[in-house]
Structure 1
Amino acid sequence: MYILSFRQRDELAALAAKAGWQVVAARRAEGAERRFLASGAAVAVVDARGALAEGLAAAAAMSGAVVSNGGAMLALVSRGDVDAVARFYDAGATHFLASPFSETEFVQSLRFAARYAEGMAGEWQASAPVDPLGWRFDLRGRTIQVTPALARMVDVGESATVRVLLRVLDRPERRAAFLALRRLGGERSATAFAHDLNGIGRVVQHLQHDRQAQRIDALVEPLGSAPDTTAAMRDALAGSRDAGGARRWIDRRLNGGGALAVVLVALNRFEVVNTAYGRVAGDALLRGAHRRIEAAAREALEKGALVARMGGSEFLIATDAPRERIDLAVERIASALSKPFVVGDSIAVLGCRIGMAERNDEENAATLLRRASEALAEAKASDSATLRVADAREEDAPVDRLAGELGPAIDHGEIDIVFQPQVSMADGTIVGVEALARWDHPAMGTIGADLLFAAAARADLEIALSDHIQRIVLERAAAWPAVLSRLRLSLNLTAGDIARPGFADLFLDRIDHSGFPRGRLTLEITESGLIEDLSIASALLTVFRQAGCRIAIDDFGTGYSSLAYLKSLPLDYLKIDKKLAQDITGTVRDRVVVRGVIDMARSLGLSVIAEGVETEEQLELLAKEGCQYYQGFLCSEAVSSAALAAMMEARMGAKTGAGA
């Protein structure tokens, strides 16, 4: 069970766990699609109570992954937001529950959703959920509500008038409708009438009169029309074009053996266009995108490929063609979707992200689609990559593997800390250290902080990992011997730390409880952790600075809003990113950029630390440009507390010997 709740994560997780589900719960929407896929859950719960806009955005982001993997999505809404249920339905939710609700009602809703997902993804017997066609007439208020699917089909609003709805029918068929309604006015509580409907063909409208509620409900049942022979034969040979049919087609191919690849294509910025121009324009855009994808796939793959729309703005191509043909198809699809679309009187440029997976031995449709969905999620999370390919080998997918093993590793104390010296360029003295997390994995060797936190993000353990690291770092540093007693300690804070309510008090209590002096602690914040929370970060860092800590901005030069950070944040140090620092030995242009960064920092009263210094040439040039401190392999790799103490003693002994 995957639960995303912006305000009541722990409470909902406890209820689901009590009922027997294994729960992965999150409080932030970032990476929701990726986390749902990594969790292996069949049911996603989106709790939009008190956070309607965020909930809708998260539902839309996850819908493609949920549909592709035959899952279910339960949306929780506040009683005052019940009118938004149709929007959640459009965004991909399959089940709904409005608060206030009891524990029993919540658990029962989870069971219904799980049963639905079991039928969708377990046996592959059902198609994608049918979008119902119908309307409801309130006899007291004389108002009509139309289901979203019918509203799209006949191009009317979901709160249409009787007159508008009747205009959909031809004159002879309006009479049939009036006669059917008149029959309900007598003793009959149910009746029906048939007519033609544009876009569907022949339909039957089943009418039911609820006298107690004073309303008429109508369910529109499509009967179909004369089939397009060419289309029928193409679908018979290539498989059905809906999500359920696509999964069944894939399953049949896998059961027959042989190679098979699945490519998932998601349109960029579709939700923006859909919101700006309306549902009708959005549907037309999806049809246009589908045609472009079909044409590109048919041209590159020639025959035997399935193209289907999986839900939302996501499409699937499945094929047993050789890899070089698939690569050609991906290239042509990306090229086709990068060209502008006409939306009403305007032009929209969308583009796409693509995820691909090739079958493993003994793999079924569920796991193949999930790997393709994970690759697509990685492409979406990338700044620039259009395509991500899921690697079939477990050893080449470390983040997924580590995500599943990280929780026990934290509990068993397997995550350790090492310290990298920071050196004064003026006299070569070690003046401080940066604490770095390490995991000596039994199979994968030493795992560094970047991969650790990527795995933590996948497993929704970022805060647990950050807390664990902070406690260990402060305990170790508080117990340092006298030879290390003057060193400054740099400790990284994450974006998750910054966003946590009450984190300032919690962290200051943690420092004081450890016994390490606040005045020797530097807190490092990366640019990427500040982009969305600049005002919150500024207030939090001001509290820490007033408490005696110093503040550094880490990896400077890799983000998007560096100048805004320098103006807005209470900083003491600027740490130049490794890549930027090493560029000092590149072209004249590279050196000018590094010089500009150092000059800007110095003019703002900040001390400058260069990361990743590995050669004497880099050190000399950085010193000439005014950099004051450095860290990197030129001095030392990251080492344990004992090795650090031995290094300091050796340096002090060397200085004493030189002085004698």
Structure 2
Amino acid sequence: MSDVAPAPAHPMTGRDRPVFLLSFRQRDELATLAAGAGWRVVAARRGEGADRRFLASGASVAVVDARGAVDDGLAAVRALAGVTGANGGALLVLVSRGDAGRLGEFYDAGATQFLASPMREVEFVQALRFAARHAQRVAGDLPPLAGGGEPLGWRYDPALGSLQVTPALAAMLGLSQAPSLRAVLRHVEAVDRGAMRAALARLRAGIQATAFAHELPGAGRVVEHLQLDARTGRIHALIERLGEVDAGAVVRDALTGVRDAAAARRWIARKLESGGQVGLALAALGRFEMVNTAYGRDAGDAVLRAASARIAEAAREALGKRVLLARMGGAEFLVAVEGVEEAELRSALARIEEALARPFVIGDAIAPIGARIAMTLSRDGDDAPAMLRRASETLAGTGSEQGAAPLDRLALDLRRAMDTGEIELRFQPQVAVATGTIVGVEALARWRHGEFGVVGAETLFAAAERAGLEIALSEHVQRLALADAARWPSPLRALRLSVNVTAADVARAGFADLFLDWVDSSGFPRGRLTVEITEGGLIDDLGEASRLLSELRSAGCRVAIDDFGTGYSSLAYLKALPLDYLKVDRKLTQDITGSARDRIVVRGVIDMARSLGLSVIAEGVENGEQLELLAKEGCQYYQGFLCAGPLTAAELTDLMESR
């Protein structure tokens, strides 16, 4: 097993050492390029512990991909500079051309090589070679990097059905050096096998290098870095130790530092299996989306970190050190505790609620966020998905009366806002699942209000309904979107534009002719336009909606049903309406990582849509696990923060150029 043989006695040089690659958005793509050029790759998506992981990998070259994540990239370079410099390594940084002006900051932080994107594959490979040569020159006679040790790894030959493991892995697991595949798979826990199967599926789909994380007896949490040898068809794995600590503690949310959702599920499952009483408290921040929209993602991230700290402090004051705190995604946090009584858990909830009721400082502003909180205690026969689902259902039923900007005041200001240009547009990318290519955007309205900050589309249209301006606002937003898109620069000229149509539009006499006149006068091509109409907006007059959408389709536009799965007549809509796309509501999308039952529901929606000839767009995709499961079920497109939130045209252009 030359790829994972024990470390030689002499120092490793050049390509004898792996490349350590940190990419916040394109890990697998860059790892595939490096693997195709002959390097072994240890790749990561998160910057936490990058210095430790670099040392443990035995790499001589570290690559930090800062494209689209300049500040995160700078932080990673600062963390890696000391260990790469002390051990004779090279530190290669990838940046977007638009960020080339910040190269001085990367140089000051400790980077040794740079490459600007867009770049050709050969340029990236050549940059790796120069970095490796730099490392060889600098390292000289330095001893091997600390933390390397004897490697853990394996090689599988599918043609022969043979598996070989390194001596260190064989000794750790009590295996022969040529064990059966089943003997090795027994050491991957059931909860982690889905991630393993997804990684192998990526290799079968043509990705040459990828990774997955799991528990390994004797090693704790590990990452298996898989590479496919395109010539022989063999799969090589290099196993990276992340630490020998409790499984619930090793995988942490990159933003807040608390446990992530997968670690929380494992912790709950183990406590339930041991027969303990488990209590859960689920907290969802109130006006978080408005914070993101009004002040930007950095401010939203700061609020999440502050909220995490407040919840942790309140929970530990009430329950002691036995609590587990996890971020479940978005602005939802989980507190889990073993051996708790109902009164004790309710007391903890009250403290958490009080902590989150205090306003948050956002830059120079002070904003009340508020939160909804729900709790549940374990019951006979519970498993982790059942408990989490019950907590989510309880949370959904609590409602939210906090944090809404006064609609009466917004209604009074709305006409002036439209006249003075306070209504602005953002564009959220829609991405092809198979290729990662941005193929279109949805236009979303935002109101930059002098008192309430940036108001999102839901509150904006609620204010319009109260003011009797729903049709006027809808027309204003549609015409603004068409005018903006008609002026897009060349990097955006191939994108589709999706605009929203309301129930009031559907009921408006002659709306199709009016709308097509606006399209043609803007200069935006009908063939690149998609009209989205929400499921709830169609309930009153399905026949009129069908006629209207048929006219728009005949004129060259495409039609999507938005927020599918939130209303009461979904099947009737699919039968009656002329549609091209079905957009799965974000709640269904996020349920796909829940129980097997949740996944079956999402699979049924996707299968039904595809059987009717519709393309499927999943909304609200926030992480790679959701995307992998959606891809497995046949979803063709996605939209969500995994790619990007709503962007200005300039930000969208930068994103397209960086990709």
TM-score interval, normalised by the smaller of the two chains: 0.3 to 0.5
* Alignment TM-score, normalising by the size of structure 1: 0.39
Structure number, greater radius of gyration: 1
